[in-house]
Amino acid sequence: MFALSHPEEAHEVTLSKSLERGLYLRTARSHRQLYPSTRGLSFQSAGIAAGFDKDARVPGCGSDCCGFAEIGTVIAIASIRKPQTRVFRLVTDHGVINRLGFNNGGHGAALARLQRRQQRGIVGVNIGANKDSADRSGDYVKGIDTFYDLASYFTVNISSPNTPGLRDLQAPAALDELLSRVMAARAAQVARNKPQRPIFVKIAPDVAMEDLPAITERLQVHAVDAIAISNTTLARNGLVDPNRKEGGGLSGRPLFHRATVILARVHQMTGGRIPLIGIGGIDSPQTALDKIEAGASLIQLYTGLIYEGPGLIGHIKDHLDAAVSAAGVRSIADLTGRRAAEWASREVVA
């Protein structure tokens, strides 16, 4: 199934031997606008999730073969660690466990690459904090300031399980402090006659259900432009693959149910007023449609492409196009959330 047995080696070969040389599948756009405009950005298809291109090495790939790309998570100070194996395929479960953390060359390296690219397509910048930072909120502000002229949008990542304590930023008081500073940084850029870049926030799938209303309420108070749901999970229920006991964040098919239930519950809590980005376990055209019907306005993929290949993107586009036609509606917006109540009522195993 896999030509290279080592996942990190396979990923590096994909980047260096193919994508950096411009050798990748260009997926045709739909003949109509499937996705609603989100905060001034006109999305045409599914996107590549953060984690695939941590260092902005191939940002054009995502916007050519998908509808948009999200680079990062990028951090202020380079943190490149090369210990033993950190990525594990769970082939039996169609999942991946990784404990890479924010392993990249820092703001400067990513900025230089983005400055060299031709300005085409939608490229978001996913920003995080160094694990040993004395001012983690300040790291996010540095991300806004550094990439403001080049990012189509920003995603504030407070949900990685591989950076100790990062998820503590989801607590209401910490979230208030962080988002107040992030929004102030954006306002300072706008005051210099720059466009108002959308700011998304990415939350964890492991958030306690009783905490979800408070988190969602704070995100609305700070008027974030979208909520990304979700990052990888620490849960391991139902797995059978021999690698299931490895430490790190789990992505892929085993994450789908948990992430989709949380997506639906956030959609209900926000009344559909904030666009949601569905991430986690999309590995077929039907799971893509499930995310939309549970409440997503947009979707992002990563692990599904590992198992299904780049052709998955085109299959999803065709399936969503057909679903829109079959429903007799004009766009994905008319399908978003129509099964949210059903999904929200489902249980999530702790």
Active site amino acids: 160
Helices 172-190 and 212-221: crossing angle in degrees, nearest 10, is: 20
Which residue, 193, 191, 66, 206, is CA-closest to 124? 66
- Cα angle 295-306-348, degrees, rounded to a multiple of 5: 40
d(CA 27, CA 65): 5
Structure-block tokens of residue 85: 């194996």
Nearest-Å Rg of the Cα atoms of the chain is 19
d(CA 297, CA 4): 35
Residue 246: Cβ-neighbour burial (10 angstroms; 0-12, 13-18, 19+):
middle
- Cα angle 285-287-292, degrees, rounded to a multiple of 5: 100
> In this structure, what are the phi and psi dihedrals at residue 332, rounded to the nearest 5 degrees?
-60, -30
Which residue, 3, 99, 70, is CA-closest to 228? 70
DSSP 8-state class, residue 49: P
Fill in the amino acid letter for 262.
I
Fill in the amino acid letter for 282.
I
d(CA 64, CA 19): 11
What's the start-to-end Cα distance of the chain, in Å? 32
d(CA 304, CA 296): 17
